[in-house]
Structure 1
Amino acid sequence: MSQKPINYLHLSTLVAVAILVGTELVGASWAAGWALGGLFQLDPMISRGIEIVFAAFGLIGLYFFMKTAIRNEPIRG
């Protein structure tokens, strides 16, 4: 069974989108956690925990975004 060759234009587009959207999404969610910790004057360890949870939500959002992007612009084909 032969596979179609890799379309490097689509691959480079997806890598660029992953970097751009990933930086924006994870950075904004991490900053939101930091801002909430500072706003409510939480203990630094609790604030770091909130930052990590928010960053995890950003990574989950990036995963689903990239899943959709790969479906709409396949690497092979």
Structure 2
Amino acid sequence: MSQTATAPGRIRWTTLVTIASAAILLGSETVGASLAFGWAMAGWLGLGDIGTRIFEGLGLILGVAAIVWFFRRAGRAEPWRG
């Protein structure tokens, strides 16, 4: 892939849109799976409503952390600032 020359500090919109789109896709999958995992584990362990909310909260935190990690790593691999 060829890099086009842009002025310093300019935003490469195509790269930014690609990274943001991938982060949204990955994020919806990750957060959904982590919430489902929290719900299933709390149900399996018989922790009730409070335990379910705690496990879902932990799963949500892990899912959001994965999104942030992905976005930062993708920004390093494909710089979106010129």
TM-score (ref. length: structure 2) = 0.84
Which of 50, 61, 64 does residue 69 from structure 2 map onto? 64
Letter in structure 2 aligned against 1:64: W
Cα deviation per residue 1:28-54 (whole Å; 9 max; x = unaligned)?
Answer: 111100010111221101111111011
1:7 shift after superposition: 0.8
Q: Is it true that 1:34 corresponds to 2:39 in the alignment?
A: yes
Gaps of 5+ in 2: 1-6
The aligned runs of 1:1-77 (5 Å cut-off) are 3-77=8-82
How far the C-alpha of 1:64 sits from its partner, in A, is 1.1
Following superposition, which runs of at least 4 residues in structure 1 exceed 2 angstroms of deviation? none
- Spell out, residue by residue over 1:7-62, the C-alpha distance to the aligned partner (whole angstroms, 9 max, x if none): 11101101101110110111111110001011122110111111101110111111
RMSD between aligned residues: 1.3
TM superposition shift of 1:4 = 3.3
Task: State the percentage of identical aligned residues.
Answer: 37
Contact 2:20 2:71 in 1 (8 A): no
Distance 1:15 1:62 in 2: 10
Aligned residue pair count: 76
CA distance in 2 between counterparts of 1:14 and 1:27 reads 20
